[in-house]
């Protein structure tokens, strides 16, 4: 984050884009994309989710999300980036995951000049496959070393072919890979497609956010029981509800003078 502005560097099919979120005086954010590498015409997809469009469930949670407002989410445009994010999401506490990702990207990734400073991508699949065990340990990645190596192999094998595979089929293919499994596969495909029904209904991060946002509500902590109730309440809108709930944990709250 730089001077109240959040940034994320994304790979798309043939380009690199910094995504910059700048807080505005009305409490919202301006999202800017600027090409810093590769060719134009490959802009990342941005999904906008308005809680006012959700069915009225007459719940405290909907009221909380309405107050928080509309969410804009930028999809990952690269299978490797999505797999790395999913692996860290499913294995590492959020703050630690962000630090590990940033340090590894700075140490071994390709860097680019952006409007808000220098930023780096996570190392490529080829480089990750070449890193020694000592490097994984130094950068706090020992616990996911084998998963990252597997994901790097998968990303190289599928290359651009994954773009032609429907989301549900891609999730099935990735879930069958040893050391990945259904949780990582679902998170990666959700990041790529913007369809968060790819996550299990009882997803641990969704459970935590719902229970934190509406503490007075009697949401169960058991994954299966939560998943049943979550699916019943959200129905065909589960993806939108999930995006809004997860964004509540990542919302930028820097005030604009």
Task: List pLDDT tens digits, range 183-240.
Answer: 999 999 999 999 999 999 999 999 999 999 997 567 998 999 999 999 999 999 999 9
- pTM score: 0.91
Task: List pLDDT tens digits, range 3-18.
Answer: 445 678 898 878 999 9
Give domain 6-44+76-193's CATH superfamily: Hypothetical protein; domain 2 (1.10.340.30)
What integer pLDDT is reported at residue 250 of this predicted model? 60
In angstroms, the CA 152 to CA 249 distance is: 28
Q: What are phi and psi of 4, to 5 degrees?
A: 80, 10
**Cross-strand partners of 32:** 20
Q: Where are the domains of the chain?
A: 6-44+76-193, 51-69+196-257
Pairing of strands 111-114, 6-11: unpaired
Measure CA 116 to chain center. Answer: 21
- Rounded percentage of the chain residues whose pLDDT exceeds 70: 92
| Three-state secondary-structure class, residue 24 | coil
In a 13 Å sphere around the CA of 232, the CA atoms on its Cβ side amount to: 7
| Three-state secondary-structure class, residue 104 | helix
**Candidate from 3-7, 69-73, 217-221, 242-246 with smallest mean pLDDT:** 3-7
């Amino acid at each position: 984050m730089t001077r109240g502005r959040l940034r994320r560097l994304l790979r798309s099919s043939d380009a690199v884009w910094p995504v910059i979120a700048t807080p505005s005086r009305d409490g919202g954010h301006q999202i800017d994309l600027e090409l810093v590498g590769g060719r134009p015409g490959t802009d990342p997809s941005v999904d906008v989710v308005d809680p006012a469009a959700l069915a009225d469930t007459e719940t405290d949670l909907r009221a909380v999300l309405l107050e928080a407002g509309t969410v804009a989410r930028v999809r990952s445009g690269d299978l490797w980036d999505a797999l790395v994010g999913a692996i860290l999401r499913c294995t590492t506490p959020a703050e630690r995951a962000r630090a590990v990702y940033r340090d590894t990207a700075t140490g071994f990734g390709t860097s680019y000049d952006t409007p808000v400073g220098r930023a780096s991508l996570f190392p490529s699949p080829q480089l990750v496959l070449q890193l020694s065990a000592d490097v994984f340990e130094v950068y706090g990645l020992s616990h996911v070393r084998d998963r990252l190596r597997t994901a790097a192999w998968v990303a190289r094998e599928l290359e651009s072919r994954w773009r032609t595979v429907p989301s549900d089929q891609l999730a099935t293919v990735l879930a069958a890979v040893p050391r990945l499994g259904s949780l990582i596969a679902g998170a990666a495909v959700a990041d790529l497609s913007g369809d968060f029904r790819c996550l299990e209904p009882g997803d641990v991060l969704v459970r935590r956010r719902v229970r934190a946002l509406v503490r007075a509500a009697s949401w169960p902590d058991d994954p299966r029981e939560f998943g049943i109730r979550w699916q019943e309440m959200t129905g065909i809108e589960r993806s939108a509800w999930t995006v809004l709930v997860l964004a509540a944990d990542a919302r930028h709250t820097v005030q604009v003078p």
